[in-house]
Structure 1
Amino acid sequence: MSGRRKAEVKASPLSFIGTGASYVALCLAALAALALVVVPMLTGSQTYSVLTSSMAPKYAPGTFLVVKPVPFEELKVGDIITYQIESGSPAVITHRITSVTAEQSGEIVFITKGDNNDVEDELLVREVQVKGKLFYAVPYVGFVANGLGNSDRGAMAQWGAVALMGYGVVVLVRGALAKKRNDGEAGDDNHSTDDDPFVFPDVGPVEGESEQHSFDDPILTDCDGCEHSEPRAEQGHRHRVQTRKHATV
C-alpha cells in the first residue's frame, strides 16, 4: 500500500518578499555594525558628529565621522583632520589642511579651512591638538549621536552592537528552522509505505494454497449414522469419530 502524498503548498509572493526583506535587513545590520562599531574599535578610531555646515555639502550636519590616529609627520595638504580648538579642550573641529608651514622655532603647524568657508581658519593647528585623520564618514547617523550627546556615545555603540548582532542571530536561526521545516515536509511527500522497512507489503495468497486453512480437531458426536446392532444402539452407545473443522484465517 503506497503512502498518501500531501498537497504541495506553493509559497506566496508575500513570503518571498518577507524573506528577501529579512536578508536585506540582516545585511544592512551587519554593515552598520561593521562600520559604526567594529572597525572603529579595531582601529582605535574615535567617532564624531558634524554639527555645522563648514564642510558641506559632502560632510553636512548629521554626518558620522570616524577619525583614525596617524603620525603627525604623515599628514599633508588635502587631508581632513579633526583637532581640538585649544589643547586639552573637548571641543573639536574637522577641517581640511590647506597649507603646512613652520614657525621660527622650527615647529611644524597646519593652516586649515572648511570646504564651505570662504577664508582660512585664523588659528594655526599644532601637533598636540590633532586627534587624527578622517578615515571615513557615514551620512545622517550623526543625528542619533547628537541626540544622545558625547557622554552617552560609547554606551550607544555598545548597545547598538549588541542589538545588531542579536538581530542577526535571530534572523539566521529563523531561516535555518524554516529551511529544516521545508525539507521535512518535502521528505514526507516523497515517503510511502513501500519504503518503510517495518511495513510488509500485501502480496496476496501463495499459489497453490487456499485462502482457508484447515486443521483436524477431534470431537465427540452422536452415532447417528453408524451401523450398530440394535441392542447396542438402544443402550445409548456413543463413540468417538474424527470430523473436520474448518477455520478461516
Structure 2
Amino acid sequence: MQMWVWRSEIMESIRSVQWRSAASQIITLGSILSMALIIWKMLILFAACESPVVVVLTGSMEPGFRRGDVLFLDMKESPIQSGEIIVFKIEGKDIPVVHRVITAHRRHNASEINLLTKGDNNDVDDSCGIYADGQKWLEQHHVMGRVTGYLPFVGWATIVMTEKPLIKYLLIGGLSLLAITSS
C-alpha cells in the first residue's frame, strides 16, 4: 500500500513538472510575440509610416533593388522630390509598388503634390499600366513611405512562403511538432 502511494506521489510530481514546463513555454512564447509587436509599433512610430518594412517582389527596380530585398521606409515631413524612391499603394490593388519619382509637380497650392513614377528597369512610366484606370498622377495619400535603406536578399523567405504555401504549412507544422515534442 505504501508503494502505491509513493508511486502516485511521483506521478503527480511528474505531471506537475510537465504543466509547469508547458506554462513556462506558453509564457515565453507570449513574451516573444509581445516584444515583436512592441518593436513593430515602435518602428511605425519612428518611421511615421504605416508599414516601415517591405519586401521587393519584382525586378522592376533592378539593378538598384532586386527581388527579395527588404526595404526600410520613412515618411519625412519634407516634400517628395524627383529622384527619390518611394513605396506607394494604388486603390483597388493590394500590393504596394516600389518605384522612383521621375516628376514631382506642385499644384496651385504648394501643399499638394502630384507625382509620376517609373521602375528603373521599366521602359515606360507608371501611368501606362500600374496606376488605376484614368489615373495620371499619384497624390500624397498614395505614398506609404520613402526608401531609406535596405538589406539584400533577406526577404526571400517571405516570397517563398507566399508563392509556395505548402512550404509555409510544412514550416508551421514542423515548428508546432517541435514545440509539442520538446515539452
- TM-score normalised by L of structure 2: 0.53
Larger Rg: 1
Q: What amino acid maps onto 2:60 in structure 1? A: S
Q: Deviations over 1:37-88 (max 9, x none)?
A: 8x946733611111111101120111111111222x42111110001022x7
Q: What amino acid maps onto 1:50 in structure 2? A: V
Identity of aligned residues (%): 31
Q: C-alpha displacement at 1:113, in angstroms?
A: 0.8
Aligned 1:50-61 pairs, distance under 5 A: 50-61=56-67
Decide whether the 8 Å contact of 2:54 with 2:70 is kept in 1: yes
**Could you tell me which residue of structure 2 aligns to residue 93 of structure 1?**
97
Q: Does 1:147 align with 2:160?
A: yes
Q: C-alpha displacement at 1:104, in angstroms?
A: 7.0
Unmatched segments (≥5 aa) in structure 1: 1-35, 150-249
How many residue pairs get aligned? The number is 113
1:114 to 115, 119, 123: 119
Which contiguous aligned blocks of 4+ residues in structure 1 show a shift greater than 6 angstroms? none
CA distance in 2, matches of 1:98, 1:78: 6
Q: Which structure has more helix as a fraction of its residues?
A: 2
Aligned 1:35-114 pairs, distance under 5 A: 40=43, 43-44=46-47, 46-71=52-77, 73-86=78-91, 89-102=93-106, 107-114=112-119
Distance 1:105 1:69, change over 3 A: closer
Q: C-alpha displacement at 1:103, in angstroms?
A: 5.1
**Could you tell me which residue of structure 1 aligns to residue 149 of structure 2?**
136
Decide whether the 8 Å contact of 1:40 with 1:66 is kept in 2: no
**Aligned-pair RMSD on alpha carbons?**
3.0
- TM-score normalised by L of structure 1: 0.40
